[in-house]
Amino acid sequence: MAKTKPGKKDLESYTIKGTNKVVRAGDCVLMRPSDSDKPPYVARVEKIESDNRNNVKVRVRWYYRPEESIGGRRQFHGAKELFLSDHYDVQSAHTIEGKCIVHSFKNYTKLENVGAEDYFCRFEYKAATGGFTPDRVAVYCKCEMPYNPDDLMVQCEGCKDWFHPSCMGMSIEQAKKLDHFLCSDCSSEDDDKRSRNSYPVSPLAEPKVEPKRRKR
Ligand SMILES: [Zn+2]
Ligand SMILES: [Zn+2]
């Protein structure tokens, strides 16, 4: 490994204190927040290095929770949703308290069971502006909302669109018992083709002030 600065040394891995869990560059980790009432911060480790006094530091790229974003948590955000931000930091490796897995949206929706360590990410997030990439996503159902993987949806056999039971006047229990489902458009005679719209996910407001960086 190439030396970066005098006294600094790149490390292949770091073992989380008191565990046998090994963290390498590219892994996602939970980091202890300064305020212990808060949930742990989630970050992706970019680099691990030690200084000349053997203090191990990690260069991390933060994931933001929806409530930490400028636009806040919205109805279509999943409970385990994270945004990969453009906000980097160097932290002491001692603040790492565990590892986690940040899945792609597609893989997350295929998980049989969602464990405490499972998260997903479908957006990149610009911390300064609150903007998302991609900034539009497909919408579903009559209510034209992006998919929240926490909500049960049923697929129409006609148009193949997905629907919330509540938007179709059904309970979750009724929807679970369905063998076949046709939405109200497909079960009526007129077959006008529905176009799939998209939904803007970035806040429209201009960035006014540089948002305060969170204290870590
Ligand atoms: Zn709906
Ligand atoms: Zn339909």
Q: How far is the CA of 193 from the centre of ligand 1 (A)?
A: 18
Look over the chain and give the mean of its residue pLDDT values, rounded to a whole number.
88
Residues 6+ apart with CB under 8 A from 215: 34
- 78-113 residue pLDDT tens: 999 999 999 999 999 999 999 999 999 999 999 999
Pick the ligand that lies closest to the CA of residue 164.
1
Both structure tokens of 47: 């680099």
C-alpha separations of 36 from 32, 102, 159, 205 in Å? 7, 22, 48, 32
Q: Which ligand is nearest to the CA of 187?
A: 2
| 110 CA → ligand 1 middle, Å | 21
Tens-place pLDDT, residues 5-19: 567 899 999 999 889
Å from CA of 146 to ligand 2 middle: 17
What is the model's pLDDT at position 5? 58
Kindly list the structural domains of the chain, giving each domain's residue range(s) and its CATH number in brackets, ordered by start: 9-133 (2.30.30.490), 137-216 (3.30.40.10)
Residues near ion ligand 2 (CB < 5 Å) are 156, 158-159, 183, 186
- In angstroms, what is the C-alpha Rg of the chain? 22
| Distance in Å, CA 144 to ligand 2 centroid | 14
Residue 165 alpha carbon to ligand 1 centre in Å: 7
* Å from CA of 105 to ligand 2 middle: 24
Q: How far apart are CA 34 and CA 205, in angstroms?
A: 30
Q: Which amino acid type is present at position 155?
A: Q
Q: Is 54 left (phi over 0), alpha (psi -120 to 50) or beta?
A: left
E strands, the chain, where? 9-10, 13-15, 22-24, 28-31, 41-50, 56-64, 81-92, 96-104, 118-125, 132-133, 136-138, 154-155, 162-163, 198-200
Residues in a beta bridge with 88: 61
Residue 207's pLDDT is: 45
Please state the pTM of the whole predicted model: 0.80
